[in-house]
Amino acid sequence: MNKGLLKSWKTDKGFGFIKSDTLEHDTFIHISALKHMSRKPKVGDTIYFEVATQPDGKTKAINCRIEGVAELKAPYQKHTQQPHRIAKSNFASSFLGKVASIGLTVLCLYAFTKYNSHSSSQTPIITNDLATNADLATFNGKYPKVVIPKVVIPKSTQNFTCDGRQHCSQMTSRAEAVFFINNCPNTKMDGDRDGDPCESDSRF
């Protein structure tokens, strides 16, 4: 860091020269190097500075400050904070957008699952399994075979008469056998007394 006195200053053009005992030549200084100071420089100010060489080979003062003069605190603070706030806002918007997207996805999956569940409960179950003998036996055990009684022909419609015959071999028709067991004594054609005579006779 060099120290020198502001030898000259052109307020209208915003530049001047610093004379330093440690440097051979006076150093050019521009107002932009002192923009962070609380007042503009004036001739006779003590300047602390560093020297930088420009592309044309000339030198200029950089990182300057005026002795005894306060520096401004972050003169461009508003400009530097604005992008930060925007970044935070963008981050918040992005985060909320992701949360909303995830929530919508979960809701859609839940609705799809409920719909499938409802559809499954409404769809009849069709099986192609064939009933086995064991299944039929179980069914017959639970639901016994219903015996449908044979129709008894009324007496008034028949022209048969009791003549002492008792056996199926003596009958000429099933109707005659039915007449005999219902109207004639001592017949032997309905051993199980179910109203169906001559069940084993292949003629009927």
202: in domain? yes
Q: Within a 10 A sphere around the Cβ of 71, how many other Cβ atoms?
A: 12
A 10 A CB-CB count for 197 gives: 24
Residue 152 has pLDDT above 70, yes or no: no
What's the mean pLDDT in 83-95?
57
Residue 80 domain-assigned? Answer: no
Percentage of the residues of the chain whose pLDDT score is greater than 90: 29
pLDDT at 23 over 60: yes
Structure tokens at 37: 């100071």
- Number of compact structural domains in the chain: 2
Instruction: Report the mean per-residue pLDDT for the chain.
Output: 79
Let me know if residue 117 belongs to a domain. Answer: no
Q: Which residue has the higher pLDDT, 3 or 83?
A: 3
Query: Is residue 62 exposed (0-12), middle (13-18) or buried (19+ Cβ within 10 Å)?
Result: middle
What pLDDT is recorded for position 3? 93
Structural domain ending residue among the three candidates 24, 41, 66: 66
154-187 tens-digit pLDDT: 444 457 888 889 888 888 888 888 898 888 988 8
Match 């109203």 to its residue by tokens: 195
Residue 122 domain-assigned (yes or no): no
Residue 69 exposure: Cα atoms within 13 Å on the Cβ side: 18
Give me Rg for the CA atoms of the chain.
Answer: 62
d(CA 177, CA 26): 153
Find the CATH number of the domain harbouring 7: 2.40.50.140
Residue 124: pLDDT over 70? no
Domain containing 147 equals 135-204
